[in-house]
Amino acid sequence: MIDILYIHTPPAVDRASVGPPGFFADVNLDQIIDAVTQGRETYDLKPDFRTPLRSLEEIRYRHETMRDLEDPGLFQGIKAFSGQLGRVRGHLRQLDQFHESLQKDRWFLEAVKLYADAAAELRVVLADARLGSMALTRFRTYLDGYLDSGAFQAMRSEVEAISDQLGQVRYTLLIDAACVTVQRSDQEQDFGQRVLDIFAKFKQGEVKTYLVDFHKQVQLNGVESRILDRVALLYPETFTALADFRAQHADFIDPSIHKFERDIQFFLAYLEFLAPMKQAGLPFCLPTLSNRDRSVHCLDGFDLALARKLVAQGSPIVCNDFHLDPEERVLVVTGPNQGGKTTFARSVAQWHYLASLGCPVPGREARLFLVDRIFTHFEKEEATTNLRGKLQDELIRIQEILHQATGDSLIVINEMFASTVWQDATMMALAVLDRILDLGATCVWVTFLEELAGQGGRTVSLVSVIEPGDQVARTFKIRRQPADGFAYAQAIAEKHGLTYGQLKERI
């Protein structure tokens, strides 16, 4: 069976038990995956979004499909196909609700008709597209063979023939007191039209309609059911053919087509999630991934969870560059509060994770390292109130991370040791930093401890900066520069009239 998600055998994962990875909540990936899969709950896509790929070959396989689906014609065509298959399943569910087999038979026929039309339309969509992906090309070949098969062709022409016959069924009902008489129709004159014709001469303009909307219930009531039984007697060949058809085509949905329709949702869901952000002008790209080269970057990246909210509100989004030279490992981010530091740290984790799913990532251009695992160390609000308890908790957590992490891991640390005195915090942080550098793991560390930023060598200092001229309004820009802690202080001081110049004047 064609598998468009995996080129080789998929990892043996128990889909029911795949929970969100531990770091999901810290970097808002839980929000992102919720939003991506929203509206597609029946497809149970979350396990797929919680299972990162380990091989570059698998990632390339998905990249090819993602690239093909950038063609709007193909995308919309496949989406339409998926919608039609949804209606087929809806028909089959509805069918079970009926008591009368005459009604079941007809709904079954309509379901097969929808299915056959959908498959035929999908063939046209795939034929019109310039496919570059191995997955879609293989599926196209399979679909062509299936549609050309004698079995499918026969089924389809049988559906058409029976539908035609049913479309010609016309009958009259003579309702006389409690007696209902059913006959074949003989092209009787429509009395409503006759009334309209008689009074047409008075027409001055359009008038309102008095047509009553009857509630649309698909079930037959007792009288309708008895009428239908008799209509079937009036058209015996038609209704016999209809019943035979259902008996002979019980499992008409091809398993490969069924699987394709389910698996393609992974791509459709993700691309649809990106669409409003793309429309707002935000850049996305398929990153170049490596499991050896440590020279990485992402240009004009941003936080997907935040961008989704801001685009919905129509607010602007600040993009940031990220880059590490081959020997660099640790990014130390300092700067004013609310300056976008945590957002930046989260987005670095998001990019790495989404890249490992084979998905496009935020940014104009990206080259990323395929990390084996992602660890996060964020302040836990619900931790014990006792100060020593909180510090202890933080230390235990970082120790666990350092045990599990390898040189291929990504560690994101956000404001560790914020609850202890500056001197102790600096000492402990420098010790943790040493261990991370020893591991060789990639790390983003948001901190107020500027000593960390001044280590040089394999650590890089980033600062959330304030644009000159508009000192109080923060820009959420993260720049590579030494941490000096000055720019923001100047802004706050000026706001309160406490700069050197201001104080000289005031005093």
Partner 1 sequence: MKTHLMFPDRDFDASAELPDHAEDLVQDLGLETLFGVMAAGDPDLKGVAKAALLAGLRTVEEVRYRQEILQDCLRHPEVIREMYRLGLQAQADEKKLLFGSLGGISRYPSYLLHHAVQLMEILLVPLKGLKTLADVQEGKFQSAGLRGFFQMLERELDPDYFACVQETLKILTFRQGLLLTAELDSGNKGRNYRLCLSNARKVGWFRQWFPKRPRQWSFYIDPRDESGAKALSELRDRGLNGVADALMQSTDHIKNFMQALRTELAFYLGCLNLHARLGELQAPVAFPVPLPAARPILNVTGAYDVCLALALGRRLVGNDLRAGEKQLVVITGANQGGKTAFLRALGLAQLMMQCGLFVAAEAFQANLCSGLFSHFKREEDSSMKNGKFAEELERMSAIVNQLSRASLVLFNESFAATNEREGSEIARQIVAALLEKGIRIAFVTHLYAFAHGLYERLGPAGVFLRALPPADGPATFRLEPGAPMATNSGEDLFQQIFADEGGIGAGVAP
Does position 247 bind partner 1 by CB under 8 A?
no
- What distance in Å separates the CA atoms of residue 235 and residue 164, rounded to the nearest whole number? 13
What six digits make up the tokens of 308? 């989704």
| Sole window of 1-9, 181-189, 261-269, 350-358 interacting with partner 1 (rule: CB under 8 A) | 181-189
Q: Which of 287, 277, 320 is nearest to 444 (CA)?
A: 320
Judged by CB under 8 A, which of 2, 80, 227, 253 binds partner 1? Answer: 227
Judged by CB under 8 A, which of 16, 211, 473, 507 binds partner 1? Answer: 211
Rg (CA), the chain: 33
In the complex with partner 1, which residue's Cβ is closer, 120 or 233?
A: 233
- What distance in Å separates the CA atoms of residue 29 and residue 377, rounded to the nearest whole number? 15
Does position 191 bind partner 1 by CB under 8 A?
yes
Q: Which DSSP letter does residue 287 get?
A: P
Residue with tokens 């060598």: 457
Does position 194 bind partner 1 by CB under 8 A?
yes
In angstroms, the Cα distances linking 236 to 98, 156, 166, 315 are: 21, 22, 11, 66
- For residue 290, the cross-strand partners are 369
Tell me, by CB under 8 A, how many residues bind partner 1. Answer: 64
Residue 342's contacts (CB-CB under 8 Å, 6 or more residues apart) are 414, 415, 446
Judged by CB under 8 A, which of 35, 155, 234, 395 binds partner 1? Answer: 234
- What distance in Å separates the CA atoms of residue 324 and residue 145, rounded to the nearest whole number? 50
- Give CA 303 to chain center in angstroms: 16
| Sole window of 47-55, 60-68, 148-156, 168-176 interacting with partner 1 (rule: CB under 8 A) | 168-176
Residue 80 main-chain phi, psi, to 5 deg: -60, -40
Judged by CB under 8 A, which of 8, 15, 93, 226 binds partner 1? Answer: 226
Query: What minimum distance in Å lies between the beta carbon of 154 and partner 1?
Result: 22
Helix, strand or coil for residue 270? Answer: helix
Q: Which of 86, 447, 478, 41 is nearest to 299 (CA)?
A: 478
Could you give the dihedral angle defined by the CA atoms of residues 332, 336, 337 and 339, in that order, rounded to the nearest 10 degrees? -80
Judged by CB under 8 A, which of 208, 403, 504, 506 binds partner 1? Answer: 208
Query: What minimum distance in Å lies between the beta carbon of 236 and partner 1?
Result: 11
Query: What minimum distance in Å lies between the beta carbon of 138 and partner 1?
Result: 35
State the angle between helix axes of 101-128 and 150-167 in degrees (0 to 180), rounded to the nearest 10: 130
Judged by CB under 8 A, which of 1, 12, 16, 218 binds partner 1? Answer: 218
Does position 236 bind partner 1 by CB under 8 A?
no
- What distance in Å separates the CA atoms of residue 24 and residue 30, rounded to the nearest whole number? 5
Judged by CB under 8 A, which of 42, 76, 183, 248 binds partner 1? Answer: 183
Helix (H) / strand (E) containing 297: strand 296-301
In the complex with partner 1, which residue's Cβ is closer, 221 or 279?
A: 221
Draw the binding track, 285-324, toward partner 1 (x: CB under 8 A; -: no contact). Answer: ----------------------------------------
Does position 175 bind partner 1 by CB under 8 A?
yes
Task: Write out the binding residues for partner 1, residues 55-114 only, by CB under 8 A.
Answer: 102-103, 105-107, 110
Judged by CB under 8 A, which of 25, 120, 124, 196 binds partner 1? Answer: 196
Judged by CB under 8 A, which of 162, 228, 277, 305 binds partner 1? Answer: 228
Q: Which of 66, 426, 121 is nearest to 274 (CA)?
A: 66
Query: What minimum distance in Å lies between the beta carbon of 213 and partner 1?
Result: 9
| Sole window of 2-10, 197-205, 255-263, 368-376 interacting with partner 1 (rule: CB under 8 A) | 197-205
In the complex with partner 1, which residue's Cβ is closer, 228 or 271?
A: 228
Q: Which of 299, 364, 328 is nearest to 445 (CA)?
A: 328
Kindly list the residues in this chain that would bind partner 1 in the complex (CB under 8 A). 102-103, 105-107, 110, 166-167, 169-196, 198-205, 207-212, 214, 218, 220-224, 226-228, 230-231, 233-234
